[in-house]
C-alpha cells in the first residue's frame, strides 16, 4: 500500500461513480474554505490480496501496473475537477493499493477530516454492509468523518449548522467542530437535544423536561466567547434522535454529531445514532470522534 500522506489536509475518497463527485465537490469547497490542501485518494482494492496466496501475489505483480494504469485517469479527472473548482487550491492525488476502509483509515491520522460519499449501490448498502466504508471508518477514524449523500441545500435564509448535543464529552467535541465550521461559513449554530422518556426516572415528566433544557445551553457554554460572531440557538425536542436531528437539519449546511457514546442522561442517546443520521439526514453529516485517551 502506498504511504503518501499530506498532514492537516482534507482527505476525500473517490471512485468512478457519481456519488464520489458529490463528495469531491464538498471536500474541495471545504478545503478552500479552511485554506487547507486537498488529498484525493483512490483505493485500488484487490480482494484477498493481503494475506493471500503466493500465486495471487504473483498475479498482482504481473497485472498490478495495468490495473493501476486503468484507474489513473479516474484519479486525474478527480484532481482536475477539484483544481478547476478552486484554481488556487493545493490538490494532491494518490492511487493507493488496498481496501477503501484501510486506506482512508490510514490517511485519517493527522488529517483535518475524511470525506466519503454514496456509491452506485446506494448509501444505505455502503454504510451498513460488510463491504461498507462509512461504518468502520466512523468507528475507528481519529478525525472527523463527513458523509455526503446530499448536496448542501440552496436557501436564501442565513446559513446554519446543526449540532446534536446530549450532555456527554463526545458531544462536546461535536460542539467545538460546529462552532468552528459556523465561523468559517459565517453561519449560526443550532444546538439540538433529542430526548425520550423514561428520563431521570426519579423526576416527574415536567421536571425532567425542564432539566433536559439545560443541556444545550451548558453544552455550548464558553464557545460563544471564543466565537462571538456566531449566533447560537438552543432547541430541545422530544423524540427519537435520528428523526429529531434529521428534521432539524432539513435546511442546514451541515449536521454535526459525536461518533459514539451515551450522553450524560439516559434519555439523551446521541452517539449510537450517528450512523443512522449518515443514512437519513438531508444534508452532509460530520461525525466527530472523542479526543484520544478520554
Say which CATH number the domain at 199 has.
Answer: 3.40.50.620
Same domain, yes or no: 39 and 88: yes
**Residues 90, 197: one domain?**
no
Given 111, 127, 148, the domain boundary residue is 148
Is 294 a member of any domain? no
DSSP per residue, 40-100: EEEEE--TT-TT--HHHHHHHHHHHHHHHHHHHHHHHHHHHHHHHHSTT--EEEEEEES-H
Do 131 and 165 belong together in one domain?
A: no
- For residue 53, give every residue at least 6 positions away whose Cβ sits within 8 Å of its Cβ, in sequence order, or none: none
Instruction: Assess whether 144 and 170 both reside in one domain.
Output: no
pLDDT for the residue numbered 63: 59
Higher-confidence residue of 124 and 29: namely 29
Are 122 and 165 members of one domain? no
Q: Is residue 118 part of a domain?
A: yes
Q: Which domain holds residue 221?
A: 160-288
Q: What is the mean pLDDT of residues 107-116?
A: 93
Coil, helix or strand at residue 287 = strand
Domain closes at, from 108, 124, 148? 148
Helices of type H across the chain: 18-34, 54-85, 100-108, 123-128, 134-140, 169-185, 205-212, 214-220, 223-226, 241-248, 274-280
- φ, ψ dihedrals at 116, nearest 5°: -130, 160
Which of 126, 148, 170 terminates a domain? The answer is 148
| Residue 73: inside a domain | yes
Does residue 64 share a domain with residue 137?
Answer: yes
pLDDT at 145: 92
Q: In terms of domains, do 239 and 143 share one?
A: no
Residue 35: per-residue pLDDT: 96
The answer to whether residues 142 and 185 belong to one domain is no
Same-domain pairing of 190 and 243: yes
Q: What is the pLDDT of residue 198?
A: 56
Mean of pLDDT values over 201-223: 73
Q: Of all residues in the chain, what percent carry a pLDDT higher than 70?
A: 73
> Are residues 46 and 114 part of one domain?
yes
Q: How many domains does the chain have?
A: 2
The set of cell numbers assigned to 99 is 481496501
Q: Identify whether residues 284 and 241 lie together within a single domain.
A: yes
Kindly state whether residue 198 falls inside one of the protein's structural domains. yes
In the chain, pLDDT over 90 holds for what percent of residues? 40
3-class state of residue 291 by DSSP: coil
Residue 161 is predicted with a pLDDT of 96
Whether residues 14 and 136 share a domain: the answer is: yes
What is the spatial distance between Cα 249 and Cα 243, in angstroms, rounded to a whole number?
A: 10
d(CA 282, CA 149): 8
Residue 153 lies in a domain: no
In a domain, 132, yes or no: yes
Which three-class secondary structure state does DSSP give residue 276?
Answer: helix
Quickly count: other Cβ atoms within 10 Å of residue 6's Cβ.
20
CA distance 278 to 114: 14
> How much is the pLDDT for 51?
54
3, part of any domain: no
pTM over 0.85: no
Q: Examine residue 55 and state whether it is found in any structural domain, yes or no.
A: yes
Amino acid at each position: 500500500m502506498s504511504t503518501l500522506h499530506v498532514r492537516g489536509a482534507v482527505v476525500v475518497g473517490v471512485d468512478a461513480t457519481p456519488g464520489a463527485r458529490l463528495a469531491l465537490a464538498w471536500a474541495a469547497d471545504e478545503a478552500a474554505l479552511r485554506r487547507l490542501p486537498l488529498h484525493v485518494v483512490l483505493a485500488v482494492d484487490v480482494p484477498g490480496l493481503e494475506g493471500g496466496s503466493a500465486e495471487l501475489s504473483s498475479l498482482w505483480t504481473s497485472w498490478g501496473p495495468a490495473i493501476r494504469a486503468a484507474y489513473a485517469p479516474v484519479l486525474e479527472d478527480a484532481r482536475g475537477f477539484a483544481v478547476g473548482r478552486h484554481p488556487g487550491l493545493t490538490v494532491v492525488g494518490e492511487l493507493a493499493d488496498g481496501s477503501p476502509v484501510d486506506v482512508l483509515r490510514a490517511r485519517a491520522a493527522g488529517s483535518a477530516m475524511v470525506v466519503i460519499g454514496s456509491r452506485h449501490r446506494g448509501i444505505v448498502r455502503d454504510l451498513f454492509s460488510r463491504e461498507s466504508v462509512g461504518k468502520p471508518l466512523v468507528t475507528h477514524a481519529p478525525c472527523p468523518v463527513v458523509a455526503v449523500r446530499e448536496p448542501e441545500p440552496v436557501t436564501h435564509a442565513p446559513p446554519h449548522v446543526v449540532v446534536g448535543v446530549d450532555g456527554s464529552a463526545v458531544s462536546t467535541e461535536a460542539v467545538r467542530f460546529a462552532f468552528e465550521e459556523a465561523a468559517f461559513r459565517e453561519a449560526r449554530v443550532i444546538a439540538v437535544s433529542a430526548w425520550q422518556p423514561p428520563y431521570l426516572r426519579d423526576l416527574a415528566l415536567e421536571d425532567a423536561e425542564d432539566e433536559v433544557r439545560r443541556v444545550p445551553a451548558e453544552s455550548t457554554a464558553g464557545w460563544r466567547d471564543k466565537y462571538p460572531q456566531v449566533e447560537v440557538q438552543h432547541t430541545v425536542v422530544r423524540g427519537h434522535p435520528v428523526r429529531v436531528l434529521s428534521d432539524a437539519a432539513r435546511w442546514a449546511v451541515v449536521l454535526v454529531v459525536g461518533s459514539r457514546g451515551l450522553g450524560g442522561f439516559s434519555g439523551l442517546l446521541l452517539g449510537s445514532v450517528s450512523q443512522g443520521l449518515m443514512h437519513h439526514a438531508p444534508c452532509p453529516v460530520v461525525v466527530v470522534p472523542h479526543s484520544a485517551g478520554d
